[in-house]
Amino acid sequence: MHINESSVETPFTLISTSVKDMVSFLSPRLLHSAIIRLSLCTILHETERRIRPNNPAFNAQFRYAKNYIKTSKYTLINFVPYNLFEQFQRLANFYFLCLLVLQLIPVISSLTPITTAVPLIGVLTVTGAKDAYDDYQRHRSDNQVNKRKSKVLRDGELKEEVWSKVVVGDVIRMENDQFVAADILLLSSSEPNGLCYIETSELDGESNLKCKQCLTETVELGQDPARIGAFDGEIVCEIPNNNLNKFEGTLHMDGEKYPLDNDKLLLRGCILRNTRWCYGVVVFAGRDTKLMQNSGKTKFKRTSIDRLLNFIILGIVFFLLSMCLFCTVACGIWETMIGEQFTLFLPWDELVPTDPVGGPTVIALLIFFSYAIVLNTVVPISLYVSVEVIRLCQSFLINWDDRMIYESPDLKDPDKTVRTFAKARTTTLNEELGQVEYIFSDKTGTLTRNIMVFNKCSINGQSYGELLDPRTGEPFEVTEGMRSVDLSQNPYHEASFKFYDNSLTDALKSKDKNCQEFFRLLALCHTVMPEHKNGNLEYQAQSPDEGALVSAARNFGFVFLSRTPNSITISANGTEETYELLCILDFNNVRKRMSVILRRDGKIRLYCKGADSIVYERLKKGQDAINYHTQEHLNKFAGEGLRTLCLAVKDLEEPYFQDWKRRHHEAATSVSNRDDKLHEIYEEVEKNLTLIGATAIEDKLQDGVPQAIASLALADIKLWVLTGDKQETAINIGYSCQLLTDDLVDVLIVDGQTASEVESQLRNYLEDIRAVSSAAAAADPGNNTTVSVVNFRYPPNSLNNTKRDDVNAAGLDTLSEDGEGSSGFALVINGHSLVWALNRKFEKLFLDVATRCRSVICCRVTPLQKAMVVDLVKRHMKAVTLAIGDGANDVSMIKTAHIGVGISGQEGMQAVLSSDYSMAQFRFLERLLLVHGRWSYYRMCKFLRYFFYKNFAFTLCHFWFAFFVGFSAQTVFDPMFIAVYNLFYTSMPVLALGVFDQDVNARNSMAYPKLYTPGVHNKLFNKFEFLRSAFHGFVASGVLFFIPYGAYYTAVDQQGRGMVDHQLFGTVVASILVLVVTVQICLDTAYWTVFNHVTIWGSLVMYLIAQFFSNYVLGGDYVGALAKTLKEPLFYFTCMLTLVVLMVPVVAWRFYWVDVHPTLADKVRYKQRLEAKLASKRSHRTMHRTPSARRSRRSVRSGYAFAHQEGFGRLITSGKIMRPNPIPVQPRANRHQTAPAAHATNTTTTTGHASSTPGVGYSNTDADNPSATAAAAAAGLVSNSINQVVNGASNSGRKRKKAGDPAAGIPLTTVHPQPPSTVDV
């Protein structure tokens, strides 16, 4: 064999040559073999990547991944073996497989193999069909992505090709608003200087545009297919990795080398914006793309109950083996002492030796396996079939819940709405929804809408945007029904823009110079790019904040129209104004401000906007009044969670500006310390500013987010926010959604750059937390577990001296004395610090600090870091985790968490495709967990407890019978009864229980989130609960066997004939067994539906019909046994005696605990029943409230300045970003709309306020009806009594004012109850 190594142009030639030099002493044959093996090994583990555009033959030798993606697990070929392998990981399935093999051996089996084969095949088939359906949905999603179209340059011509057939080295053409098919190196674009703009919301959750620029050497390729097809450069770059912010490579072209970096790479999942077309060469495709590298692998998720069941099944198997071993020893003893004397009457099998020792020994060994078969039903194979059916039905209930449907306008047809349903994309994790302890949430698009709204402003010391009650002078909140300011006279106004304070428009109409200058600054001082689409003016902003400010100026008549590198044109109240752009002093994180210097009519003016702390330091003296009033307004805006910004202006003299401009140019072209010199120049000119005012914009949260977070917190669920946004932005949102509040002891910020700094900060914070906890414990040694329904928190130290279980059962949500709670820390950590915190050396320290904090926010984290944080909590806390997000950057953590929830929002469908559950809004997570999750867990736990009880009661009857049949493995029941006991006689009632049962309805499940806590702490089904159910079944089996045994031991019928025979006795025990387990499930059923009645009573009828059918029609061995049993009064007496002995203790035990030690669920259920009785006598009032009536909080001003990034200032002034000829935009014609009548100011609803009236309110119509009035008053007294029963104490709430409503105390109120859903069953 000969290899021409010189002809192989690979990156591995040098390595192979070096190795050849090192092992030159080896034989040539061995040398060639070593080189081949080394080359193949190195190809499989590439160290760099070489790509030649338009040269598929060269690229094919490296076998780079194609652009085909796969998120599914199975194929048609591997489905059966792979799925069976996964299913037999369940110990029960494997156990029954072994049992089936034993039953195929006639000498040891007393039952037909069909009794095991049919249920086992059924279980495997049902589960396999479900898994196949789930994977089919993944295949469909993959096909939708793989079949997207892209234009690929092949043989010098553009051809349309599906994404899956795109390969590394292909040159593709992308057009505006298209998704990028793969990771491509930008070659040319339609924009000047090779620029293009992309939206990366799929990658990092940010919807603001980012600018990319190709090499100047490739810009000239343009869009000529011939020139691009002749491009023959070679790209040498890094191997595939998951680093979204880094790319290193080199382009070899015409004998020169050109560096490549991340600014020249377009990543898969990005969307091309504001760019007509661009060309690029594929460098990473399919699974090698950075998006897929961050996605993680599809994992087989199993619930904690599944894992517990595996352990329990293993324990049951050992228990079964112990019983078999006992029966084996007992059989040996019996055969030795007694059985040998009856060999003439009961001869041994031919295989059994006849000697006195060997015979009993062999029989005993065979009996071991026989009892393993007879007692096998103690490990119920039908359990898994029932579990899968219940999970499937619960998934349908989630899909059908009309309370989790979100209606949004159709983008294609505004007159229509799109209904987005919540969807259970898997059917295996429903009960896990009821045990979630940690939620990991993305921010942008998940908690927020990523929409900024101009809310309020302060101009020349006057506040605008706040509505006051004309009677009281107190502010009230805006509601959707109120009429907004009419801006229709402005041809450029946006219908979506809403402002409710007419005083601002009045000031503009009166030509107030301060207001005009305020909005003129907003229209001029920015780096927004205008875009003209279909004659409409649209803005592409560097950040949503800046877009909101420019949009506000536009709607108030100061419209930014266009820009060139040297000018800005606006329309000021219909008058076009063009300003010469002299300089842009761009924003960065150090300056926290931006300025523009403009000239018009010979006057030079500097406009500046930035953080209040920065701007106030640069104001000139002599304007104390406006400074004071504006500062007051800033404090108020920040207290409401708004993102504030200060605006200022300064006039410049021409000589000074020319001198400053010269020095600015010198600093800008300096080779060394350029940034420091520019900073000094900027500081010089941005002094002695005149304050104009301040803006306040709101980062719109999704509807119901604060309420949902508060309810989840009360349910003992911890929420961690993992976001790619900046620290200050995330903190602002934390305050807005009440994840962070003023009553926190402190917000701990970890921002160390090195390992030692991060470790030091974490240790210091841990000491601080311990010190505060110790001080709180010393100050309040009492054990107070009262919970505040306003802030949903325990008072300080209540958890320190109280076990979690005691806290959970302490009672309903009640108000503390002051209605507020204090306590806790919040932790905020940056991405660069998180790198060290997740290190094996410090991860436990980080987790110790984080788990002691009430809230955790991780900022600037990569998708992989999100997954690592989730995995850290999974490994060390042993808690159920849920990850929720809406973008491709959340896919990794969604797959890592026990449960993944995808939001079908503004950032594509990648998160939904990888999720276990999908929904349209974060607020639906509250209902998904507190209602469906809790119900699913509650039903599954009750189902399992009952299932093990009935199977132990059934199976152990054989064990008691063994003492009377010489341990011969004789069964007490008819074999047909054994085969169908779990299939027909007892399966349907317990299925109805597992699907429809509920202890409290949906409204109360959400009204009292503490009901969720038993699931968090795994209280409803655990090892102890299993042992209790098994012991209950053990006792029941003894009673079921020995009472009939005693009753029928010497019994005779009415004709005097004996009734002591095996078949009759077995039929009696079987009949009483069916009746007992049926009565037991009646006691266990808390919520009766038609299905429960049909299945429970139908099972009794089915037993009678099936027994007669099997014996008379099929010719069974027990012909006439049941008829004989039902004719005798002794049977009914025995049946009643057994029921009394078994049921009375159960009823008494439950009555004692409900009456003396009621749980929270017991209290709510009692209240629910009384309310149902009173519903016909009074008008039920539903009292709404949000978690905290206090909205003011610590200052988080200048959120814009913190969140903003460095803008497009340098590109604007250079002219590179400009198009040659902007398309003129036609203003829209004035549209005079008839606004709805203004609502009265005293009818507004204040979100966040809780109010109710003591007793019960009644309608005005009752005033004329004395009996109705008296009934309502009586109902009010009873309602207050219920509240006291449920709360355990009478509590009065903090009085709060609300527009149009009197102050009122707060009795027992609910978190924001909703009307019952159609799926409340």
pLDDT tens digits, 1051-1093: 887 777 777 788 899 999 999 999 999 999 999 999 999 999 9
Least confident span in 244-258, 943-957, 1103-1117: 1103-1117
Q: At 234, which helix (H) or strand (E)? A: strand 234-237
Q: pLDDT digits over 1131-1151, tens only?
A: 999 999 999 999 999 999 999
pLDDT for residue 296: 57
pLDDT for residue 1211: 54
pLDDT for residue 798: 38
* pLDDT above 90 for 538: no
pLDDT for residue 437: 93
pLDDT for residue 1305: 37
Query: Mean pLDDT throughout 1294-1311?
Result: 36
Cα separation, 332 vs 359, whole angstroms: 9
pLDDT for residue 72: 83
Bridge partner list, 603:
600
Query: Mean pLDDT throughout 1278-1304?
Result: 38
pLDDT for residue 73: 83
Q: How confident is the model at residue 1204 (pLDDT cuts 50, 70, 90)?
A: low
Q: pLDDT digits over 889-930, tens only?
A: 788 889 889 999 998 755 456 678 788 999 988 999 999 999
* pLDDT above 60 for 991: yes
pLDDT for residue 1217: 54
Query: Mean pLDDT throughout 866-878?
Result: 91
pLDDT for residue 414: 64
Query: Mean pLDDT throughout 1267-1280?
Result: 40
HSE-CB for 891 with a 13 A CA cutoff:
27
Name the residue with higher pLDDT: 580 or 1221.
580
* pLDDT above 70 for 1265: no
Residue 23, SS3 per DSSP: coil
Just list the catalytic residues. 442
pLDDT for residue 1218: 54
Question: Who's near 166: CB < 8 A, 6+ residues apart?
Answer: 66, 67, 150, 152, 172, 181, 182, 282, 285
Least confident span in 531-540, 949-958, 1062-1071: 531-540
* pLDDT above 80 for 1: no
CA distance readout (Å), 402 to 378, 481, 575, 1230: 41, 24, 51, 40
Query: Mean pLDDT throughout 727-752?
Result: 82
pLDDT for residue 113: 75
Name the residue with higher pLDDT: 780 or 855.
855
Q: 901-906: list long-range contacts, CB under 8 Å, 24+ apart.
A: 901/925, 901/928, 903/445, 903/446, 904/420, 905/445, 905/446, 906/201, 906/207, 906/445, 906/449, 906/450
Bridge partner list, 485:
none
Q: How confident is the model at residue 1185 (pLDDT cuts 50, 70, 90)?
A: very low
Cα separation, 746 vs 741, whole angstroms: 10
Query: Mean pLDDT throughout 613-642?
Result: 87
* pLDDT above 50 for 807: no
Averaging pLDDT over each range in 82-91, 198-207, 1070-1079, 1164-1173, which range is the top one?
A: 1070-1079
Bridge partner list, 576:
571
Query: Mean pLDDT throughout 306-325?
Result: 89
Query: Mean pLDDT throughout 945-950?
Result: 94
* pLDDT above 60 for 1274: no
* pLDDT above 60 for 1267: no
pLDDT for residue 191: 82
pLDDT for residue 781: 56
* pLDDT above 70 for 731: yes
Name the residue with higher pLDDT: 1256 or 1138.
1138
Name the residue with higher pLDDT: 1242 or 676.
676
Name the residue with higher pLDDT: 360 or 999.
999
pLDDT for residue 734: 85
pLDDT for residue 529: 81
Judged on CB neighbours under 10 Å (0-12, 13-18, 19+), 635 is middle
Cα separation, 1291 vs 1271, whole angstroms: 25
Q: How confident is the model at residue 1301 (pLDDT cuts 50, 70, 90)?
A: very low
Residue 327, SS3 per DSSP: helix
Look at the pTM and tell me if it is higher than 0.85. no
Cα separation, 866 vs 870, whole angstroms: 6
pLDDT for residue 1178: 60
Q: Are strands 558-564 and 209-213 parallel, antiparallel or unpaired?
A: unpaired
Q: How confident is the model at residue 294 (pLDDT cuts 50, 70, 90)?
A: confident
CA distance readout (Å), 1157 to 1149, 1153, 1162, 1168: 11, 5, 9, 18
Question: Who's near 421: CB < 8 A, 6+ residues apart?
Answer: 399, 404, 405
Name the residue with higher pLDDT: 1294 or 266.
266
* pLDDT above 70 for 567: yes
Averaging pLDDT over each range in 99-103, 297-301, 646-650, which range is the top one?
A: 646-650
Question: Please, what is the average pLDDT of the chain?
Answer: 78
* pLDDT above 60 for 1273: no
